[in-house]
Structure 1
Amino acid sequence: MKTVSKISELRAQVKTWRQQGLTIAFVPTMGNLHAGHISLVAEAHKHADKIVASIFVNPMQFGINEDIDSYPRTMHDDQQKLTAAGTDLLFTPTPDIIYPKGITKQSFVEVPNVSEGYCGESRPGHFRGVATVVCKLFNLVQPDVACFGLKDYQQVQVIQTMVEDLSMPITIIPVATSREESGLALSSRNGYLSIEEKAIAPALQKNLQWLAEQITAGFAQQESIDFIGLAKQAAKAINHAGLHTDYLHICHAQTLQPASEDDTQLVILAAAHCGKARLIDNIQINLNVT
């Protein structure tokens, strides 16, 4: 695997591959890689000839009092994992390379509607930072496909909407969430969890599963489903387990608007604090499947 930090080096390699008629898949990350990230690389191999990954801790998507300074940086280990996964090129720019004018003078990308609420409400400016850096990375790498993990479901919807709205010739490939045996979604921030917190953290996914079962059963029995009431019950159970719910909502799977009785494609979006870690998770529900 070749590692480059300069834009000129990245573009030179991409140009060579294009001249050879090769296709390119892109996996953007913030480093501190785990099995979930590597599953994105594995999926990317199914769709392109060459794999480009990036590691960039994006300051634009961190808010005040968030953990950018303490965010784990494990470049050497990350390089070894990406090499073993068959990555062809790793792009490791610095903030000065991505934002040469500084963040306050940087043009930005705003994706309306799907970026509002949920993590967008809890972390103001977060999705502006995500959309901006992903747009810029897309312009630099110019991939045919890009892989993103569905653990960050709202993020995937924001990026998919941006690509569609701006007519980018890139196929976004969502990849299923990787989990520990306990059901806890893999996350770089899981490293903040103590042993005791690690034991209670799976309560988030457990209660989302319960909620999905209640919705599916109610639909099968043609009952009126109290989405808000059920969500409140699940949030109460999560808090009782020792977590602190940030939000928990049942939404239309594409628009992310609150679910209605006519919707059959749903997603449950949730975030909860467990000690220093802020955990996010989701479950998709297809009520058309019998």
Structure 2
Amino acid sequence: MLIFKSIGQIQSYLKSAGLEGTKIGFVPTMGALHEGHISLIKAAQKENKITVCSIFVNPTQFNNPSDLEKYPRTTEKDIELLHDNCCDVLFLPDVEEMYPDGQILEKQYDLGFVETILEGASRPGHFQGVAQVVEKLLDIIKPDNLYMGQKDYQQIAIVRRLLKLMNTNIQLKTIATTREPDGLAMSSRNKRLTEPQRNIAGLIYQCLVSIQTKEGLQHFSIVKKECEDILAKKGFKPDYVALADAETLEPLEDYVKDRNTVALIAAFIGDVRLIDNLLLN
């Protein structure tokens, strides 16, 4: 596996004569890699000649400075994991390489109403930072295919919008969420959970399954209240329990027959904020 830390070096390599016309798959990450990330790597390997992974903890998408400070960084283990899984190229820039003019939002992205709901409402400015770093990375790597996990459902909608704004032919590929045996969605943030917190963290997935199984049996408002109460009783601080159109993320007050919908939950356990989602049909 080749490792590049500068933009110039990785661009020079990807533009080399031997790679001209080669299909490139790209997996952007913030490190603290797990099997969910590896599922993206494997999906990229199946469809592309070269698989590029990036590790960059992007400061402009953290609206809480302490969250940025506590974000797990396991670079040596990440490199070993990528090497063991035959990733071709790792882009490992530092903050100064990505933001030579300082950590500022260089422009405002027209991300539509999706930026204002759910994660956007809870984390103002978060998706502007996401859009900026994804555009920077795509301009650097110039991939044919971009791979992201379903766990970050709203982020995928934002990136889909960004690709339209960029007027690019890059194809966005969404890969199913990888879960622990108890259903907990694999996430870098899970590394911050204490053992007691980890023992109950799978409750979020159980609530999503409950939302799914009660479709057509109860009004969503009742199911939502049940989930919020269950989470709170176990020590969670629910941020939102929501139902939305699976394509547009339009919020829904109740289940809608024959409409593709997604249930989404965000909740704090201690100072760790976990998110998850489940497609209902």
Structure 2 residue 270 is the aligned partner of structure 1 residue 275:
yes
- CA root-mean-square deviation: 1.6
> 1:204·1:238 contact (CA, 8 Å) conserved in 2?
yes
- CA distance in structure 1 between the aligned counterparts of 2:66 and 2:17, rounded to whole angstroms: 39
Give the SS at the match of 1:107.
Answer: coil
Cα deviation for residue 86 of structure 1 reads 1.3
- The 3-state SS of whatever aligns with 2:39 is helix
Aligned to 1:152: 152
Structure 1 pair 135–17 and aligned structure 2 pair: CA distance change class (3 A): farther
* TM-score normalised by length of structure 1: 0.91
Matches of 2:89 and 2:108, distance apart in 1: 26
Count of matched residue pairs:
279
Gaps of 5+ in 1: 219-224
Quick one: which of 233, 238, 260 aligns to 1:240? 233
Structure 2 residue 251 is the aligned partner of structure 1 residue 258:
yes
What does the per-residue CA deviation read over 1:202-229, in whole Å, with 9 as the maximum and x for residues that have no partner?
Answer: 11110110111111x44xxxxxx62233
Aligned pairs for 1:13-92 (under 5 A) are 13-16=13-16, 19-92=19-92
What is the CA deviation profile of residues 150-177 of structure 1, one whole-angstrom value per residue up to 9, with x for unaligned ones? 1111001110121123321111111111
Q: Is the 8 A contact 2:60 2:104 kept in 1?
A: no
Mean Cα displacement is larger for which, 234-243 or 148-157?
Answer: 234-243
Question: 1:92 Cα deviation (Å)?
Answer: 0.9
CA distance in 1, matches of 2:164, 2:278: 24
For the 8 Å contact 1:192–1:276, the answer to whether it is kept is no
Runs (4 or more) in structure 1 with deviation over 6 Å come to none
CA contact (8 A) 1:108 1:129 kept: no
Deviates more, 1:234-243 or 1:16-25: 16-25
Aligned residue for 2:224? Answer: 231
Task: Kindly provide the CA deviation profile for residues 35-55 of structure 1, in whole angstroms up to 9, marking residues without a partner as x.
Answer: 111111011111111001100
How big is the shift at 1:180? Answer: 0.8
CA offset at residue 104 of structure 1? 2.8
Please give the secondary structure, in 2, of the residue aligned with 1:68. Answer: helix
Going from structure 1 to structure 2, the CA distance change for 1:49 and 1:210 (only over 3 Å counts) comes to: same
C-alpha distance in 2 between matches for 1:18 and 1:29: 26
C-alpha contact 1:110 1:131 (8 A) present in aligned 2: no
Is the CA contact (8 Å cut-off) linking 2:244 and 2:251 kept in structure 1?
Answer: yes
Which residues in structure 2 correspond to 1:99-178 (within 5 Å)?
Answer: 99-104=99-104, 106-178=106-178
Q: Distance in 2 between matches of 1:202 and 1:18?
A: 47
Which structure 2 residue ranges, 5 or more long, are not aligned? none
Give SS of 1:148's match: strand
TM score, norm. by length of structure 2: 0.94
Counterpart CA distance in 1 for 2:18 and 2:251 is 43
* Sequence identity percentage: 37
SS in 2 for 1:73: coil
Match of 2:206 in 1: 206
Distance 1:83 1:109 in 2: 35
Distance change (3 Å), C-alpha of 1:51 and 1:207: same
Query: Within 1, Cα distance between the matches of 2:107 and 2:100?
Result: 11
Task: State the alpha-carbon separation in 1 of the partners of residues 261 and 105 from structure 2.
Answer: 38
Tell me the residue number matched to 2:187.
187
